[in-house]
A = this chain, B = another copy of it.
Amino acid sequence: MPVMTAEQIHSFLEEHFPQISHLDMRIEDVRKNGITVRIPYHERHLRPGGTISGPTMMALADAGTYLAILAQLGPVAEAVTTNLNINFLRKPGQNDIVAQCNILKLGKRLAVGEVTIFSAGEDDPVAHATMTYSIPPRE
């Protein structure tokens, strides 16, 4: 079960990851082996054509999975992304985007997560990503 609440994750994020404050990530749900994260719509996330940019979705997938791991292990973890694979499926409209982040494996050395990203209110996903994190040895 998770050992951190949404509020604790928010505080951790503000303190340790000020450089992604531009994403304005909101933790909507923390559950066993998963979290839901929302990025409110902002025009700075747009790319030409008026859709949410790929790098915004990649940053969301990466940070969301990191937070899902953190929620399980607590704030001591210094997990590092080693692999990220993302498929862009549909163009998201000018709306919030919401990421369902699930942990597929939480091992001693590696964690693997999966993220499905939706444009708020839509049924079909706009992107899907998988990620691997290396977990440093814990004393």
Chain A, interface size: which category? Answer: 35 or more
Which secondary structure dominates where chain A touches chain B? strand
Q: Which of A1-31 contact B (CB under 8 A)?
A: 16-17, 19-20
Contact B128 A114 (CB under 8 A): yes
- Per-residue CB contact flags for chain A residues 114-129 toward chain B (1 = under 8 Å, else 0) read 1000000000110010
Copies of this protein chain in the complex = 4
A112 sits at the interface (CB 8 A): yes
Q: What separation, in Å, do the CA atoms of A84 and B58 have in the docked complex?
A: 9
A105 sits at the interface (CB 8 A): yes
Known: A16-B48, A104-B128. A54 touches B84 (CB 8 A): yes
Q: What separation, in Å, do the CA atoms of A2 and B134 have in the docked complex?
A: 27
Q: What separation, in Å, do the CA atoms of A128 and B85 have in the docked complex?
A: 12
Contact B105 A134 (CB under 8 A): no
